Structure 1
Amino acid sequence: MQIKSLSIKPVSRLSIICTIAIALLLLGPNPAKAESRSQAVDRLTDFLFYKVNPQLNNRKLQTGDREYIRQWERLREAIDPRVKSTQEVCFRPAPGETGWEFTPINGETYDQTYDRLADTIFYSRHPQRTGQPIPKNDKISTSEWSAIRRYMFISNCGL
């Protein structure tokens, strides 16, 4: 039995190439989409939340994680007013640079801002103590607050 050589007609070759090209375009990597302000706030909240809660290993929060969910929501509320456009915050943004930056508000320094965010997390973990300063002789609470504060850092404007 003789096997005839297979030949593909030029029209068939073109349709195969077009099909492959279309598939690559549809299945290939998508160009990056601009991040919305809300997405930036969520990203920064997630970043800090998981830094101060490393025991979660970046896992998604579940319905039963009420304490963590409350902590995340309070942190987001504190971060939200501090997210501004790059054009508004950075001294010399690169041409065409767009996006969102984390910045202090109301004349705070970055240290004061991070202190306030550490307070937000600490008091969401201990709601019964909200509004009360941590007594200097309470070494456990002081250590916890200090650990929270130490984990917080966000770089701004390429600094």
Structure 2
Amino acid sequence: MVCALTIALLLLNPNPAKAESREQAVDRLTDFLFYKVNPQLNNRKLQTGDRNYITEWQKLREAIDPRVKPAQEVCNSPGPGDIGWEFTTINGETYEQTYDRLADTIFYSRHPQRTGQPIPKSDKISISEWSAIRQYMYISNCGL
């Protein structure tokens, strides 16, 4: 039933969606995570005066970029004609490590003076901030 409905919708749509480029996929995933960890922005477009947010977005994009691969390479059993882009791990990282690294990217872009320094266990405020960032980190891949 669902398959028949999906096929009917595809056949009735005179303007099928254009394939997303890799760069568009990286931007989309960056936007997705950026706005999840910055809900106060309400998905509004960044403006020239938003320097700190712009820097944070750019650093997040740099971290996401190498993690976007063709679906055929990432998914164990991609669907027929699946030519999209998926978020994945790199360099043997687990997804947990990947999300930790992305949370680090955002945290240290907000606190550049601390880059390269671990958060001391006694710094409860920073630990709480990092944990809040990390809590919002999740990108589903391969249709899961």
Instruction: Give the structure-1-normalised TM-score.
Output: 0.81
AA aligned to 1:104 is T
- Tell me: CA distance 1:99–1:64, structure 2 relative to 1, closer, same or farther (3 Å): same
Paired position in structure 2 for 1:63 = 48
Q: How does 1:40-51 map onto structure 2 within 5 Å? A: 40-51=25-36
- Out of 17, 29, 47, the residue aligned to residue 32 of structure 1 is 17
Distance of 1:65 and 1:113 partners within structure 2:
27
Which has the larger Rg? 1
AA aligned to 1:73 is Q
AA aligned to 1:146 is S
Structure 1 unpaired stretches of 5+:
1-27
Look up the SS of the partner of 1:69 in the other structure. Answer: helix
Distance of 2:139 and 2:47 partners within structure 1:
26
1:139 paired to 2:124: yes
Q: Taking every aligned residue pair, what percent have the same amino acid on both sides?
A: 85
- Tell me: CA distance 1:29–1:126, structure 2 relative to 1, closer, same or farther (3 Å): farther
Distance of 1:96 and 1:114 partners within structure 2:
29
Deviation at 1:30, TM superposition (A): 3.1
Structure 2 unpaired stretches of 5+:
1-12
Paired position in structure 2 for 1:117 = 102
AA aligned to 2:93 is E
Paired position in structure 2 for 1:72 = 57
AA aligned to 1:72 is W
Distance of 1:30 and 1:65 partners within structure 2:
36
Alpha-carbon deviations, 1:124-156, whole Å to 9, x = none?
000000000000010000000000000011111
Instruction: Give the structure-2-normalised TM-score.
Output: 0.90
Paired position in structure 1 for 2:5 = none
Paired position in structure 1 for 2:141 = 156
Look up the SS of the partner of 1:116 in the other structure. Answer: helix
